[in-house]
C-alpha cells in the first residue's frame, strides 16, 4: 500500500486523469482502505467542478453580451438599410422640384393643340407629374376641371428605372383656353409659370 502523502501529492494529476493505469489502480486501492484520502479526493473533485461551473457562467455571460451586441448591430444595420432605400427612392423615383434655371421650355401649336416642351439642362432625369386643377362646384355640385398643374421633378438617372429622359411634352387643346378660368400652371421650385387665355400664345 502506497503512503498517504504520495496519494495526496499525486491527487491533482489523478483527478485530471494524467496518471498511468498502474498508479491509478494503486490509488483506487488506497481509497478503499483510507478514509482520509477518500474524503480529500471527494473535496478536491467537488471544488474543481465548482471552478468549472464558474468559468462556464463567465462564458455564458460573455456570450450573452456578444449576442446583445450582435442584435444591436443587426438593428442598426437594418435602420441604415432603410435610410439608404429611402434616399435611393428619393433620388431615383421621387426627386425634387426643378428650378427655373435648369429648365428650358418652349410652346408651340400643332393643329388645335397647344404644346409645351420642357427640357432639363442639368444632366438629371426629368419626371413630370400632371394633375387637374378643379374649379368651384357648379349648380350640379360637380367641380369642373379648369386647368392642369404640371410639376417637373429632377431625378438622378437610374440604371434600374427607365427615367433617363431629359425632355417632356405636354399638350392641351386651344379650345380649353377659351373656357373661363382655364390655366396651365408649370410649378417649379422657385415659383409658378402660369399660362392662361391671355398669354398662352405669347
C-beta of 29: minimal distance to Zn ion in Å? 11
119: cell is 427640357
List, as own/partner pairs, every contact residues 174-180 make where C-beta atoms lie below 8 angstroms and the sequence separation is at least 24, other chains included: 174/109, 174/112, 174/113, 174/114, 174/200, 175/112, 176/114, 177/114, 179/146, 180/146
* DSSP β-bridge partners for residue 187: 192
Residues found near Zn ion in the complex (CB under 5 A): 4, 34, 37
Looking at beta carbons only, is 38 or 99 nearer to Zn ion? 38
C-beta of 49: minimal distance to Zn ion in Å? 22
* DSSP β-bridge partners for residue 75: none
Looking at beta carbons only, is 15 or 189 nearer to Zn ion? 15
List CB contacts of 62: < 8 A, sequence separation 6 or more: none
Looking at beta carbons only, is 39 or 46 nearer to Zn ion? 39
Looking at beta carbons only, is 40 or 149 nearer to Zn ion? 40
Q: What is the largest CA-CA distance in the chain?
A: 125
C-beta of 28: minimal distance to Zn ion in Å? 12
C-beta of 26: minimal distance to Zn ion in Å? 11
Looking at beta carbons only, is 6 or 149 nearer to Zn ion? 6
C-beta of 30: minimal distance to Zn ion in Å? 6
Of 75, 201, 95, which is closest to residue 156 (Cα–Cα)?
Answer: 95
Contact between 158 and 73 (Cβ < 8 Å): no
Amino acid at each position: 500500500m502506497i503512503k498517504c502523502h504520495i496519494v495526496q501529492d499525486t491527487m491533482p494529476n489523478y483527478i485530471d486523469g494524467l496518471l498511468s493505469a498502474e498508479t491509478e489502480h494503486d490509488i483506487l486501492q488506497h481509497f478503499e482502505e483510507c478514509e482520509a484520502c477518500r474524503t480529500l479526493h471527494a473535496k478536491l473533485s467537488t471544488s474543481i467542478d465548482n471552478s468549472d461551473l464558474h468559468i462556464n457562467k463567465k462564458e455564458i455571460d460573455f456570450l450573452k453580451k456578444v449576442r446583445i451586441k450582435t442584435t444591436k448591430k443587426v438593428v442598426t444595420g437594418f435602420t441604415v438599410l432603410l435610410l439608404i432605400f429611402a434616399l435611393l427612392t428619393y433620388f431615383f423615383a421621387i426627386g425634387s422640384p426643378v428650378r427655373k434655371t435648369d429648365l428650358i421650355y418652349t410652346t408651340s401649336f400643332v393643329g388645335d393643340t397647344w404644346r409645351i416642351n420642357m427640357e432639363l439642362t442639368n444632366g438629371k432625369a426629368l419626371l413630370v407629374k400632371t394633375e387637374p386643377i378643379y374649379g368651384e362646384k357648379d349648380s350640379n355640385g360637380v367641380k369642373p376641371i379648369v386647368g392642369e398643374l404640371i410639376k417637373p421633378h429632377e431625378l438622378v438617372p437610374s440604371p434600374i428605372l427607365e427615367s433617363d429622359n431629359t425632355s417632356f411634352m405636354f399638350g392641351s387643346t386651344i379650345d380649353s383656353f377659351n373656357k373661363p378660368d382655364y390655366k396651365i400652371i408649370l410649378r417649379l421650385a422657385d415659383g409658378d409659370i402660369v399660362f392662361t387665355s391671355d398669354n398662352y400664345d405669347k
